[in-house]
Amino acid sequence: MCGIFGVYNYYGDAGEFRQRALDLSKRIRHRGPDWSGCVVSGNNIMCHERLAIVGIDTGAQPLTNEDETIVLTVNGEIYNHKQLEKQLKTPTQFKTHSDCEVILHMYQEIGTDVCAKLDGMFSWALLDTRTAESRLVIARDPIGITTLYVGRVSAHPETVFFSSELKSLNDECDIIEEFPPGHFFDSKTGEFERYFKPTWWDAERVPTAAVDYRQLRESLTAAVRKRLMAEVPYGVLLSGGLDSSLISSIAVREAARISAAAQSDTEDIDTRGARYFPRMHSFSVGLPNAPDLIAARKVAKFLKTAHHEYTYTVQEGLDAIADVIYHLETYDVTTVRASTPMYLMSRKIKSAGVKMVLSGEGSDEVFGGYLYFHYAPSAPEFHTETVNRVKNLHTSDCLRANKSTMAWGLEARVPFLDKEFLEVAMNVRPEDKL
């Protein structure tokens, strides 16, 4: 992931505002310390702070088409980019090895319909200047794994600001809102439109299908496997609990399988990560002698990962709170408390040269794993609560996982929130989850 910032239809001189835009984009450079890019087109500015994970040699952004009439800035990963490249009707010469470039070419062929075709976590903005009145399209991933905000100036309602974090907007905008997950914004209409329409979205619709364990296992395995896409060292976050242990075990197994298999250009997923770095590294954090550390040690030993255990003191945790709040951009007590160990661990992980980790967020919401779910009055009410919790992850665990890791330029990927896995897991009857 990276950091994006931009302004569309700026009310002043965009050329003069360029340096100010660079300064505002710099506020989120912790998200992308590897390179910075800026494109000014008319009265529009698109900025990018890059964390290089895929296409590290050629993937600098913003990306443009051949005649530079379309500009794209992306924060995220597109796991099905190889499949989408094959679906292009027009023979296309890609400029980069980035998984994100396919968005630009797909947009040229099918417009905003590209949003629903993407399998990944993403926030992106695309500027189309091929017509007299330029067009801005912004989109956010289905669940809100990545963070994205939109800002406006009440005196100039025609201008639209956007950023991965609030800190780039608060000095310029007097109206700021979170960009809704699963939507795209189109300047042609000035409206947000939902593109993510899964069968399980209606919380009052209670599924009746019995659990298919093979389908559940295969869909989660596929979710983990596709997330091994990387050209840099990566690992897994391991607390010793069921969620992270399951993700870690699948990741270890799939990485070994990919590494042992012959190289194939016909695979639909990008397998470079497991081929480049077949040995899995695992990471855990806690106070000295914490139960989680002990449990994680046992799991790591069983899985034969290269395990890294980090500890911190209560005082170190207290000392970090101000910085945690700065990066989270929330005072919510639960979020701050849960983010502090993750923030401290992310710094250690990044110092070890790792840029990407798999994490277990989302499973408790999908399967009703929190203690209070045991007191659900009925199976239908249990299901309704799981749906509502998944819908609101962008305000809690997704926000925490994204901002506390990206504070140090570390990307967290969450297989339990894979949209194809959710289509399976959220359609299991609640009686099988109770």
Q: Element (H or E) spanning 97, and its range? A: none
Angle between helices 333-351 and 314-328 (to 10 degrees): 100
Amino acid at 212: D
Asked whether 71 and 62 are in contact (CB, 8 A), the reply is yes
Q: For residue 227, with 0-12 CB atoms within 10 Å meaning exposed, 13-18 middle and 19 or more buried, which class applies? A: buried
**225: burial class by Cβ within 10 Å (0-12, 13-18, 19+)?**
buried
| Residue 136 near residue 126, CB atoms below 8 Å | yes
Residue written as tokens 């659900």?
A: 376
Measured between alpha carbons, how far is 306 from 192 in angstroms, rounded to an integer? 45
The span from the CA of 274 to the CA of 204, in Å, is: 41
Catalytic: 47? Answer: no
Counted residue by residue, the chain has a size of 434
Strand order in the sheet with 183-186: 63-64, 70-78, 120-128, 135-140, 183-186, 191-194
Phi, psi of 184 (to 5 degrees): -125, 155
Beta strands in 279-372 (DSSP E): 281-286, 306-311, 356-358
- Distance separating the N- and C-terminal Cα atoms of the chain: 35
Active site residues: 2
